[in-house]
């Protein structure tokens, strides 16, 4: 039984404990107005006080069978005495039908109904009634009680369904609150992971850019200075070397600035990818003295900036590795435009290397940076090499079309 103060209590749960007071007050008022009888007032007060003590003040008290039986015995005895005083108190006995179906569980409720009907029939002070008349009155009382019982059962079933629905809604609300809390926690973790991934990605980008621009430029400068030192007596040759060093230093500085600001490399800012490859291959040949050819197959077309930057950096790093480690006599670059992908192949006839050599500290990061650049764009990166048989590097990337405004990157680069 739900307490009347419980927030989950229905309207019926709040009404039925106090309903009996109306069935006591109304007949008492009319009976006393018609014929003042102190005993009727006392007994009516006793019924109200007993009901308050057993039901209203502490609903859980009548959940015990002994207390429930005691409650009904006292109530029916006092109501029977009131009916003897005045038949108006028959209304109070009708309220006990409702109490029976509300308080007594299951089919036992009809026992309370039968006891109440018996009190109604026996307590009425009518003389000369035959046993058949009394039986008829008892059956009528049972019929009325059964009708009241059906209504009470319907109300109680509806009340129980409502309680179940409220419990389910509360459970669903609690689960939704837990899911919301878990979702907030996961979102916080996702933001943290995204922030950490962004920091790591930016570090890797800067590492690749520094390696592909500043490190290569400084390496070329050192090479030219060593060559100039060997030709110190040849003033024109020394001046030529120093001019080359000055140009390399200026280009490295510009590329460093562009890398920090995440702008397009200068060769791509001024020309398309195929032309840029011709340019860097020519400069590399001039610096190293090793001829490098560039061939283009397919239909050249503008590609997304990231695709062109990645292929350009792969070409620069591959040529730098050839100049430092391969001891090659010639190199070749092939740029192939296909329907869905674009591929860059860089080959040389140098010394080649083994897998153990490629993973060493010297030159290993360049291969790692190239692979990271290519795989970041869902591309494939492959190396074919063997000692004494040269090296072939292949980078294949999806041919993502250029943005709708291909000049936007150029304008941003020129605005620096």
- Write the DSSP symbol of residue 401: B
Can you give the pLDDT at residue 384? 92
CATH class label, 263-414: alpha beta
Q: Answer for the pair 344, 375: CB distance below 8 angstroms, yes or no.
A: no
DSSP assigned state of 57: S
Q: What is the 3-state composition of the chain as percent helix, strand, coil, each rounded to the nearest 5?
A: 70, 10, 20
Query: In the chain, how long is the greatest CA-to-CA distance?
Result: 154
- Facing residues of 332 across strands? 293, 347
User: What is residue 364's predicted lDDT score, i.e. its pLDDT?
Assistant: 56
pLDDT at 388: 86
CB of 341 within 8 A of CB of 399? yes
Consecutive 10-residue averages of pLDDT for the chain (416 residues): 48 64 84 84 88 80 83 86 83 78 74 76 63 63 65 69 82 86 78 65 62 61 62 65 68 61 58 88 88 94 88 90 88 94 94 64 67 89 90 93 55 37
Q: Report DSSP state, residue 414.
A: H
- pLDDT for position 133: 60
Contact between 316 and 370 under an 8 Å Cβ cutoff? The reply is no
Please report, for the chain, the start and end positions of each structural domain, with discontinuous segments joined by +: 11-174, 263-414
pLDDT in tens, 106-155: 667 777 777 877 777 777 655 555 666 656 666 666 666 666 666 666 66
- For residue 130, the cross-strand partners are none
Instruction: From 154, 80, 65, 61, select the one nearest 111 (Cα to Cα).
Output: 65
**Under a CB-based contact definition with an 8 Å cutoff, are residues 310 and 395 in contact?**
yes
As beta bridge partners, residue 347 has: 332, 392
In this structure, are residues 331 and 290 in contact, taking their beta carbons and an 8 Å threshold? yes
**Whole-angstrom Cα distance, residue 347 to residue 297?**
16
pLDDT score for 405: 43
Helix H or strand E segment including 393: strand 391-398
In terms of Cα–Cα distance, which of 325, 315, 394 is closest to 361?
325
Structure-block tokens of residue 123: 């307590």
Judging by beta carbons within 10 Å of its beta carbon (0-12, 13-18, 19+), is residue 147 exposed, middle or buried? exposed
What's the pLDDT score for residue 229?
59
Quote the pLDDT of residue 255.
63
End-to-end Cα spacing for the chain: 80
């Amino acid at each position: 039984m739900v307490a009347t103060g419980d927030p989950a209590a229905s309207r019926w749960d709040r009404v039925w404990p106090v309903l009996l007071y109306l069935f006591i007050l109304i007949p008492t008022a009319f009976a006393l107005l018609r014929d003042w009888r102190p005993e009727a007032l006392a007994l009516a007060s006793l019924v109200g006080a007993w009901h308050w003590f057993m039901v209203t003040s502490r609903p859980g008290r009548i959940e015990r069978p002994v207390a429930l039986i005691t409650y009904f015995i006292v109530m029916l005895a006092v109501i029977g005495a009131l009916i003897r005083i005045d038949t108006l108190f028959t209304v109070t006995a009708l309220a006990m039908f409702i109490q029976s179906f509300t308080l007594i569980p299951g089919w036992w409720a009809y026992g309370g109904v039968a006891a109440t009907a018996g009190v109604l029939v026996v307590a009425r002070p009518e003389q000369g009634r035959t046993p058949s008349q009394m039986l008829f009155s008892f059956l009528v009382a049972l019929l009325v009680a059964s009708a009241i019982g059906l209504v009470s059962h319907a109300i109680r079933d509806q009340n129980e369904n409502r309680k179940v629905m409220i419990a389910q809604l509360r459970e669903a609300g609690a689960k939704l609150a837990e899911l919301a809390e878990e979702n907030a926690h996961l979102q916080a973790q996702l933001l943290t992971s995204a922030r950490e991934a962004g920091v790591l990605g930016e570090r890797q980008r800067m590492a690749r850019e520094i390696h592909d621009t500043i490190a290569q430029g400084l390496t070329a400068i050192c090479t030219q200075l060593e060559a100039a030192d060997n030709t110190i007596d040849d003033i024109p040759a020394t001046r030529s070397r120093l001019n080359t060093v000055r140009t390399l230093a200026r280009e490295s500085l510009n590329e460093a600035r562009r890398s920090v600001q995440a702008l397009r490399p200068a060769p791509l800012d001024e020309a398309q990818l195929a032309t840029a490859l011709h340019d860097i291959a020519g400069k590399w040949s001039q610096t190293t003295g090793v001829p490098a050819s560039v061939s283009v197959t397919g239909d050249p077309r503008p590609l997304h900036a990231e695709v062109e930057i990645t292929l350009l950096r792969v070409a620069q790093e591959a040529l730098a590795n050839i100049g430092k480690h391969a001891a090659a006599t010639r190199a070749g670059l092939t740029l192939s435009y296909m329907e869905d992908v674009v591929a860059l192949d860089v080959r040389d006839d140098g010394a080649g290397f083994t897998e153990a050599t490629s993973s060493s500290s010297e030159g290993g990061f360049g291969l790692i940076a190239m692979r990271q650049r290519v795989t970041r764009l869902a591309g494939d990166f492959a190396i074919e090499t063997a000692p004494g048989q040269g090296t072939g590097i292949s980078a294949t990337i999806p041919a993502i079309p250029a943005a709708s405004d291909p000049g936007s990157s150029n304008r941003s680069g020129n605005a620096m």
